[in-house]
Amino acid sequence: MLFAWIVPAAVCLLMHFTAEACSKGNVAANKLPHGVAEICDKGNMTANSASHVQPGTNITLSCQLKQLKYNEQCKIAIFFNSSELIINYGTSVSTKFQVLTYGKHMFTCKIVCEYKKKLICGVDIMSGNPPDQPRNVSCIQYGTDGSPTCTWDKGRLTYINTTYVIQLSDGTDIFCFLEENLSNKFGSLVLSKKLNFDSTYTVVVAASNELGSAFSQPLMFMLIDIVKPHPPRLLVEFENSVTNFSFVWHDEVRAQHCRIRYRPLTGYAWNTVENVNSENFSLYGLEPHTEYEFQVSCKIHPERGLWSNWSTFQTQTPEAVPTGLLDVWYKMQDVDSQTQNISLFWKALSKSEAKGRILQYTVTFEALNRGGPKAEVTTQTSYTRTTAKLDYRITVTADNSRGSSPPAVIITDLGIGDLPPPQKVSALPMGNGSIFVSWKPPKKFTASINGYIVEWMDTHRKKSLAPPPTWVKLVASNLSTVISEHIKDNVCYDISVFALYQDRAGRVASVRGYSREKAPSAGPQIYTTPQTNGVLVSWEDIPSHQQMGCITAYNIYLRKKDSEGAPAVYAISNATSQREFYITNLQRGENYILWMTASTAAGESPWGNRELVCLESAVDWLIVVLTCSFFVFSVCVCSMRPARKVLYSLLSATMPQWHDKAIPDPANATWARSYAAVKGELSVPSSLFLRDTSSFEEPETIEVEEGFTKTDSQIFHEKLIFGKVHGRENHDWQSESSFGKQESEYKALPSTTDGDSYEHQLPYLYRRMAEVTEQMQPAPEYLANPISDRAAGYLPAGILAPATDTAAEQQELECSPISVFPTTFLPPVFSYGGKLNLDTVRLNGSSFTR
């Protein structure tokens, strides 16, 4: 059979090569039977091989010059791709060469005269492979009215020009088609021949080049086997039910056998319907409000032929009434004695349960035994309402454009104290963001339990309603679960388990848990407050991101400041609520250093801050108390007049002896007696001794300050008051007028630029002082200052002891709280000690005469 097809193919190839040979004309006539040769004007060049060889072939190259005379110094040489192979003197040269690579090899013969080269002749040798047998021959026709296209695998590369011809035979005629696609790997050719459905065709692919030829295995087919129909035009129509669909498509007349497949756009698996023999089909039971992809493919014969490509149509099914039941949970919080906050939380329905886009949620509150439900609408998945403290039946539904879901019912019960919690709740870490929670059923009322609620929340957000807690509802037969939603490693969670008694939640059983934890990365911040018998230690929670799990215990370390021994440790196991600890039995006056750590199950934290603590000794406290008591008592006593009198009497009786020592009277000073004896002489006009310069001796220079003269005729209006209290000679002295008034009643003395007029007034000043002294009452026997060595320099006593009113003095002593103390404790009015001299006396020169 194969031989029968090789002969016609060889005929086609012969025709092809004959045409090619004719087109080349003289080139083929010049070829030698056993090699290739080129005849040129200046010489000839030959090779003992064909023009096309396979790699590894050895060839002999020769070059012969014609009878022309050249310079005896010229040589003849053969070159390969500009590389010199051989060179000799003479008129001919020959060499051998082995072909190792694919492609074109160019050999030339040249005359070399000194540095010049002249081309004589040359030959080209091509290196390649003979064609492999064409494989995997197939033919296909797109649509019933198209032309067939055949493809094949060429095999290895030939590196030289290779021709592929397809021979098509219908049993009577043979048609040859030359390949136009020059791809090196695969061959493809469109047969320009109209085929019919009744004939059987045979196809052979022939490949040939200068090194050989090859033929494919014959391919026999009918047109019905190779025709691939065009994809049908598809349309999807919805029926009355939202889950029923009709498919309508239009295809070529002969394509009557189809198949359908469809899937949700979010899925990967196809649902396939085979053997559909009409151009319409209905599907049932699709999910509402879901995007689907529908595809249809057809072929001409149910058992033979090719399927068309899939035609695709995408659409979304209509909505339906929601079927899912909302998972609702709630929290109750008292506002006052009459009202409460009820916070509801629910999980959104899954897409398959919602059957469409949820537009809103309807929440209904109905007070038990009161009637009159109140409905509210929200678009959120939580709802909070302040209501009176009653029991309520609460329903929540999800609404879309087609209707509402079945109501989820919650019954709040203020008397849940009778509904016991689950027993032995435990939480085991599982790592990777998950915790295993287990429990035992309550001891009572187990028959009425219809489920459990497991709720968990980050411990640091426990008191906040935002975000809402995370929970899962389980059937009554489940006594354990693995929670992983919103669970993070190194975070502590409060896990609560409730038993549901006919939709009523009983009391809670709680435990703390974690997925994975480490030792805290920081210690607590502590504060110390010293007290009578010890120190009160308080602390703050470690920041949540540094706790690294659930804190199980605290340790307080206490050590004396200068001690090198181990510190005392106070363990606190109640780590969830306790925030202070009282340490007793500390020594007073001793310095202590105190610090604190926190622990998880994974280990202990570093130290927190360190505090230095010292309790005051009892002696120090006694001094402080007595000092404060004394001052308080003194203030109270001094504020009462009878008490002041008694205290003054006591202080006077206990006064030291030097307080009663007599102080010399300045009136008895030598200066005062001399002044009385020469009183008459001082009244002599000053001109008698001041103007006589013949016997005048330069007096001692006296510095006189500028003073102020009083406008009133009386000089020294201020009086020093001396008096006796209860017959005792204890004296106080004070000025009747303030310094502020003095400054307003005096004017400046004449300056020293007035010359003699100022000096002549000095004696009269002393005379006036003496007159004033005689008019005053007798001075007391002593002054307050006990210094006696300055008595000789005192001024007359009348200047320092003016007359005072005894009654006024007694009244002043009684009114002044300060007067109860002896005068020795008071600073003197004058700041000149016990002596007055001219350095500290201001002189008034208004009464001096010239």
**Digit-coded pLDDT (tens) for 284-311:** 888 888 889 999 998 888 888 899 999 9
Three-class secondary structure of residue 566 per DSSP = coil
Contact 386, 325 (CB under 8 A): no
pLDDT of residue 787: 40
Three-class secondary structure of residue 741 per DSSP = helix
Residue 156 or 700, more confident: 156
The mean per-residue pLDDT over the stretch 456-460 comes to 85
Contact 550, 513 (CB under 8 A): yes
**What is the spatial distance between Cα 400 and Cα 402, in angstroms, rounded to a whole number?**
6
Residue-wise DSSP of 645-663:
HHHHHHHHHT--GGGG---
Extended strands (E) in 719-763: 746-748
Q: Report which of 674, 663, 703 is spatially closest to residue 796, judged by C-alpha positions.
A: 674
pLDDT tens-digit profile of 245-287? 777 777 666 677 889 899 999 888 999 988 888 777 888 888 8
**What is the spatial distance between Cα 229 and Cα 297, in angstroms, rounded to a whole number?**
9
**What is the spatial distance between Cα 208 and Cα 211, in angstroms, rounded to a whole number?**
8
Hey, how many other C-beta atoms are within 10 angstroms of the C-beta on 90?
A: 10
Residue 300's contacts (CB-CB under 8 Å, 6 or more residues apart) are: 144, 224, 227, 229, 254, 255, 256, 257
**What is the spatial distance between Cα 682 and Cα 768, in angstroms, rounded to a whole number?**
11
Q: For the chain, how many helices (H) and strands (E)?
A: 15, 49
Residues β-bridged to residue 456: 470, 495
Q: Report which of 455, 338, 323, 449 is spatially closest to residue 397, judged by C-alpha positions.
A: 323
The Cα-based distances of 45 to 79, 84, 636, 765, 826 in angstroms read: 12, 15, 148, 164, 150
Residue 19 sits at φ, ψ, to 5 deg, of -65, -40
Q: Report which of 214, 211, 210, 213 is spatially closest to residue 21, judged by C-alpha positions.
A: 210
The structure's pTM equals 0.49
How many Cα atoms within 13 Å fall on the side-chain side of residue 817?
9
Hey, how many other C-beta atoms are within 10 angstroms of the C-beta on 632?
A: 10
Lowest-confidence region among 384-393, 543-552, 822-831:
822-831
CA 671 remoteness from chain centre: 97
pLDDT band of 700, cuts 50, 70, 90: low
Q: To which H or E segment does residue 631 belong?
A: helix 618-638
Strands 245-250 and 280-283: antiparallel
Residues β-bridged to residue 65: 43
pLDDT of residue 621: 55
pLDDT band of 844, cuts 50, 70, 90: low
Contact 403, 322 (CB under 8 A): yes
Mean pLDDT of the chain: 74
Rank 477-491, 567-581, 639-653, 705-719 by mean pLDDT and report only the highest. Answer: 477-491
pLDDT of residue 415: 65
Rank 393-397, 610-614, 684-688 by mean pLDDT and report only the highest. Answer: 393-397
> What angle (nearest 5°) sits at the alpha carbon of residue 587, between those of residues 586 and 593?
65
Asked whether residue 67 carries a pLDDT value surpassing 70, the answer given is: no
Helices (H), 350-471: 351-354
Asked whether residue 781 carries a pLDDT value surpassing 50, the answer given is: no
pLDDT tens-digit profile of 351-386? 889 988 999 999 999 888 776 788 889 999 989 989
pLDDT band of 481, cuts 50, 70, 90: very high
**What is the spatial distance between Cα 25 and Cα 21, in angstroms, rounded to a whole number?**
7
Instruction: Say what percent of the chain tops pLDDT 70.
Output: 68
Residues β-bridged to residue 152: 187
Asked whether residue 482 carries a pLDDT value surpassing 90, the answer given is: yes
Hey, how many other C-beta atoms are within 10 angstroms of the C-beta on 210?
A: 15
Q: Report which of 169, 163, 177, 176 is spatially closest to residue 207, judged by C-alpha positions.
A: 163
Tokens 């807690």, located at residue: 469
Asked whether residue 426 carries a pLDDT value surpassing 90, the answer given is: yes
Contact 582, 534 (CB under 8 A): yes
The mean per-residue pLDDT over the stretch 617-631 comes to 68
Rank 407-416, 516-525, 527-536 by mean pLDDT and report only the highest. Answer: 516-525
My answer on whether omega of the bond before 467 falls inside 30° of 0, hence cis, is yes
**What is the spatial distance between Cα 498 and Cα 454, in angstroms, rounded to a whole number?**
7
pLDDT of residue 440: 92
pLDDT of residue 584: 85
**What is the spatial distance between Cα 810 and Cα 470, in angstroms, rounded to a whole number?**
90
CA dihedral 819→821→823→825, nearest 10 degrees, is -130
**What is the spatial distance between Cα 779 and Cα 794, in angstroms, rounded to a whole number?**
13
Asked whether residue 768 carries a pLDDT value surpassing 60, the answer given is: no
pLDDT tens-digit profile of 739-762? 333 333 334 444 444 444 444 444
pLDDT of residue 428: 93
The mean per-residue pLDDT over the stretch 694-699 comes to 46
pLDDT band of 400, cuts 50, 70, 90: very high
Q: Report which of 844, 813, 618, 653 is spatially closest to residue 745, judged by C-alpha positions.
A: 844
Q: Report which of 40, 251, 221 is spatially closest to residue 138, judged by C-alpha positions.
A: 221
Q: Report which of 581, 565, 583 is spatially closest to residue 573, judged by C-alpha positions.
A: 581
Three-class secondary structure of residue 454 per DSSP = strand
Asked whether residue 164 carries a pLDDT value surpassing 80, the answer given is: yes
**What is the spatial distance between Cα 830 and Cα 800, in angstroms, rounded to a whole number?**
11
Q: To which H or E segment does residue 366 belong?
A: strand 360-367
The Cα-based distances of 226 to 215, 277, 742 in angstroms read: 22, 21, 140
pLDDT of residue 624: 65
The mean per-residue pLDDT over the stretch 832-840 comes to 49
pLDDT of residue 305: 87
Hey, how many other C-beta atoms are within 10 angstroms of the C-beta on 759?
A: 17
pLDDT band of 185, cuts 50, 70, 90: confident
Three-class secondary structure of residue 222 per DSSP = strand
pLDDT tens-digit profile of 8-63? 444 444 444 433 332 232 333 333 335 788 888 888 899 998 889 999 999 999 99
Asked whether residue 109 carries a pLDDT value surpassing 70, the answer given is: yes
The mean per-residue pLDDT over the stretch 811-821 comes to 38
CA dihedral 480→484→486→487, nearest 10 degrees, is 90
The mean per-residue pLDDT over the stretch 700-706 comes to 50
In the structure encoding, which two tokens stand for residue 754, read together?
């007035």
